[in-house]
């Protein structure tokens, strides 16, 4: 789950990541929950170690949305670590003409 702002997600995100802008939970939470409740692992990330949005989203998932703590993981290095390692990236514009 990508906890970054919409613009950052659209510009590039980890393949298969679900968008859930932490600062706009009201717009995303109801759509995200069916995909994560019951999942074996829910990995949440944001920009990197200096960003707490993913940590706060993990708390929201476990305390408010009843996602089990044992299945919720924080990717602390986040987008900075992923992109620095030159791992695969998806954008929202790849399929558009």
Q: Model confidence over 7-45: pLDDT tens digits?
A: 999 999 999 999 999 999 999 999 999 999 889 999 999
Closest CA to 23 of 43, 7, 42, 39: 7
pTM of the model as a whole: 0.90
- Decide if 47 contacts 83 (C-beta within 8 A): no
């Amino acid at each position: 789950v990508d906890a970054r702002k919409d613009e950052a997600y659209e510009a590039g995100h980890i393949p298969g990541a679900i968008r859930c802008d932490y600062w706009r939970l009201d717009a995303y939470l109801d759509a995200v929950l069916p995909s994560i409740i019951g999942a074996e692992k829910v990995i949440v990330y944001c920009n990197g170690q200096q960003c707490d949005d993913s940590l706060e989203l993990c708390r929201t998932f476990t305390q408010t949305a009843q996602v089990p703590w044992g299945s919720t993981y924080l990717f602390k290095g986040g987008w900075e670590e992923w992109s620095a390692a030159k791992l695969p990236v998806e954008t929202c514009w790849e399929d558009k003409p």
